[in-house]
């Protein structure tokens, strides 16, 4: 049987098809480009005005409003004031602490504001195991007179104090820095020299 002469449903171009290739003569397309348009429609990008094809499945989900990710969010890939979502580089986190955007050397990101205030005051970066404590327990009150440099263990004890049995604890003095701290009586029998933390034990903490 010879080929049948049909017309493309979209553009009207004559199409020759074998009878075995035609299931519905009313739905014949000359190419994949024309056949793909049967499920979607032409959209105009509201940002750049380009006309593009949007699939029906994407339109049903509310997508394909813009022609590209760049047009959907012009701030994408831009940092600092060049980003439309920029809010000054300072915000309060969900846990109540204030984070500040910093650019130091090869680092660009956010750090806790109370750490930066303390580092500026002492003239160096915080050492591993050092924490900054808020005296009034208000996490966004980062005034210098409200901040106290302490160790991680003391910081935890400050926020989560546990009842102590006086018979099981003793007050001792750090052999390196002279700071008084509490120590379990069971640990007193192990040594007569005591250190308040790992920094003093390793000799890394400045006197």
13 and 62 share one domain: no
pTM: predicted TM-score of the whole model, two decimal places: 0.47
Domain that holds residue 145: 89-162
1 pLDDT band, cuts 50/70/90, is: low
Q: What is the mean pLDDT of the chain?
A: 82
Q: List Cβ neighbours of 78 (8 Å cut-off, separation of 6 or more).
A: 84
Mean pLDDT of 180-202: 82
One domain, residues 158 and 169: no
Question: Predicted confidence band at 135 (pLDDT cuts at 50, 70, 90)?
Answer: very high
In 3D, which of 87, 114, 120, 119 has the Cα closest to residue 98?
114
Kindly state whether residue 84 falls inside one of the protein's structural domains: no
Whether 20 is in a domain gets the answer yes
Question: What are the two backbone dihedrals, phi and then psi, of residue 77, each rounded to the nearest 5 degrees?
Answer: 85, 0
User: Which residue, 95, 149, 152, is CA-closest to 128?
Assistant: 152
d(CA 12, CA 29): 9
Once rounded to an integer, what is the mean pLDDT over residues 34-45?
74
| 187 and 175 housed in the same domain | yes
Mean pLDDT on 114-120? 94
* Region of poorest pLDDT, from 54-68, 78-92, 99-113: 78-92
pLDDT band per the 50, 70, 90 thresholds, residue 206 = low
Do 48 and 32 fall within a single domain? no
**Residue holding tokens 């397309």?**
29
Overall number of domains in the chain: 4
pLDDT for residue 38: 54
R_g over Cα of the chain = 35
Q: Which of 25, 58, 28 is nearest to 40 (CA)?
A: 58
């Amino acid at each position: 049987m010879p080929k049948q002469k049909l017309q493309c449903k979209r553009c009207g171009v004559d199409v020759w098809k074998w009878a075995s290739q035609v299931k519905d003569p009313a739905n014949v397309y000359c190419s994949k480009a024309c056949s793909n348009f049967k499920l979607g429609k032409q959209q105009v990008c509201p940002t750049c005005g380009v006309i593009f094809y949007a699939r029906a499945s994407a339109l049903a989900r509310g997508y394909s409003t813009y022609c590209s990710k760049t047009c959907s969010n012009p701030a994408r890939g831009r940092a600092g004031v060049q980003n439309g979502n920029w809010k000054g580089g300072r915000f309060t986190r969900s846990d109540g602490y204030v984070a500040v955007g910093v650019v130091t050397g090869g680092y660009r990101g956010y750090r806790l504001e109370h750490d930066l205030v303390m580092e500026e005051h002492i003239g160096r970066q915080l050492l591993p195991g050092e924490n900054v404590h808020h005296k009034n327990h208000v996490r966004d009150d980062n005034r210098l007179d409200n901040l106290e440099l302490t160790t991680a263990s003391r910081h935890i004890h400050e926020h989560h104090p546990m009842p102590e049995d006086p018979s099981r604890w003793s007050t001792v003095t750090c052999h390196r820095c002279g700071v008084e701290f509490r120590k379990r009586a069971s640990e007193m029998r192990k040594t007569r020299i005591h250190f308040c933390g790992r920094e003093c034990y390793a000799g890394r903490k400045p006197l």
